[in-house]
Amino acid sequence: MTSEADGDLLDVIVIGGGQAGLATAWYLRRARLSYVVLDAGEAPGGAWRHGWDSLRLFSPSSWSSLPGWPMPASPGADYPTRDDVIEYLSAYEQRYQFPIERPVQVEAVKVVEGGLEVVTDRGVRGARTVVSATGTWSHPFIPDYPGRSRFGGVQIHSAHYESPEAFSGKRVLVVGGGNSGAQIMAEVSLAADATWVTTEEPLFLPDDVDGRVLFQRATDRWRAQQEGRVIDAPVGGLGDIVAIPSVRAARARGDLNSRRPFAAFHDQGVIWPGGEEERIDAVIWCTGFRPALDHLRPLGVVEADGRVAVEAGRSVREPRLWLMGYGDWTGAASATIVGVTRAARDMVAVIQQALV
C-alpha cells in the first residue's frame, strides 16, 4: 500500500478510468499531485465501450471534449458516434500518458493510518485521498414488476443492448422514456413490432435544442443556486429527449407514440391495467442505472438510497473520499463529457488545498 517512488502514500487514487477519471487525472497532473488511476476495463473507453452500436452523443464534438484537448470532428456527422468517443478517450490517455493500471478490480476502500487503503484483485494500494469515479454502467436498474421472474421471453437492459437485428420480427416492449429509450425505440421499431412504454408522455425538446443548450441551462441553474438566486429557466434538462436525426425520423413515422406502463407480467407476455393480456417476445429495459458504489460500503458512507452524502463532491462522513461523475449530486452535469471538466477542475482544486 505504498507508492513505488518513495515509500510514501500517494496523494490520490482515482478509481475508474472513464471520462470522469480521465478529467480528474488531467487536473491532478497539472496540480503536480502523485496519483494513479485504477480501471476495471480491459481497454480505454469506460462505459462507452458498452454502448449500443448506433449510440451517438447529442452534442457536437466541439462541445464534447475533456480538458486540454478538443475532440476531433466526426467526418460526415454532426454528432460523434460511440466509436468516435472511444477512439478519442483512447487517444487522450496516450496523449497525456496518465498512470493508468488495468484491468484492476477494486474490491473495497478502508481507513488506515494517514489515509485510505484500496483493496484490489492485484494487491493493496494506499493514498491520502481517494476519488471514486466508477460511474453507473455496472449497476443497471430494472423495476420490479409483478411476475417479472415468471416471464419466459427475453429481457435485456440497455446496458447490454447492441443492435435491432436480434429482435427482427419479434413483439418487443421498449420500457423507459429517456434518451436511451427514444434512440433504441427509433431503430427497433424498424425491425420489430415494438411498443414504447413510458411512465408519462415523453418530453421531446425542440429540434434546435441539443446538448449545448441543455448544458448552458444546467450551468445557469447551478450558478443561480451558488448565488442563492431563483431563475425562471426554460423547461428542459439533460434527461429530456434530444431530437437527433434518428429520433426525428422515428417521430415522423409515428413510431414514437408511447403507452403507459403495463400492470404485470405473465408467462408469455404482459397484462395491461385494464386486464388485457398481450403476448410479448422480448423486453428492452431503458430504465437507467444506479451508482456503482459497493467498493465504498466498508467505509460506512453509502446511504439507504445507494448514494453517498456529499458536499461539493466530498463525502460528509469520510472527508478523504471524493466522488466524481455519478450525476448532478456529485457536480452539475458531471455525468456528461461536456460537464465533467468543470466538476473535476473544482474538485481537484479543493483536494490540492486539503493536502497542503
pLDDT greater than 60 at residue 196: yes
pLDDT greater than 50 at residue 341: yes
Q: Are residues 62 and 131 in the same domain?
A: yes
Within 10 A of 72 (CB to CB), how many other CB atoms are there? Answer: 14
Rounded Cα–Cα distance for residues 190 and 92 (Å): 36
Q: Are residues 132 and 165 in the same domain?
A: no
The region of weakest confidence among 16-30, 164-178, 208-222, 280-294 is 208-222
Could you tell me if 164 and 187 are in contact, meaning their C-beta atoms sit under 8 angstroms apart?
yes
Mean pLDDT of all residues in 74-100: 90
Q: Name the amino acid, one letter, at 260.
A: R
The reported pLDDT for the residue numbered 34 is 98
Per the domain annotation, does 209 fall within a domain? no
Q: Are residues 60 and 170 in the same domain?
A: no
pLDDT greater than 60 at residue 31: yes
Which of 251, 285, 319 is where one domain is finished?
Answer: 285
pLDDT greater than 70 at residue 222: no
Q: Give residue 347's pLDDT band: very low, low, confident or very high (50, 70, 90).
A: very high
Rounded Cα–Cα distance for residues 305 and 290 (Å): 10
Q: Are residues 80 and 99 in the same domain?
A: yes
Per the domain annotation, does 231 fall within a domain? no
Q: What percent of the chain has pLDDT over 90?
A: 74
Q: Are residues 164 and 275 in the same domain?
A: yes
Per the domain annotation, does 230 fall within a domain? no
Mean pLDDT of all residues in 89-99: 97
Per the domain annotation, does 114 fall within a domain? yes
Q: How far, CA to CA in Å, does 117 sit from each of 5, 154, 298, 306, 353?
A: 17, 41, 11, 22, 21
Q: Are residues 76 and 108 in the same domain?
A: yes
Instruction: For residue 285, give the C-alpha cell.
Output: 429495459
Q: Are residues 15 and 112 in the same domain?
A: yes
Domains held by the chain: number? 2
The residue range of the domain holding 303 is 10-139+289-354
Domain of 37, CATH number, reads 3.50.50.60
Q: Give residue 119's pLDDT band: very low, low, confident or very high (50, 70, 90).
A: very high
The reported pLDDT for the residue numbered 61 is 81
pLDDT greater than 80 at residue 292: yes
Q: Are residues 115 and 168 in the same domain?
A: no
The reported pLDDT for the residue numbered 293 is 97
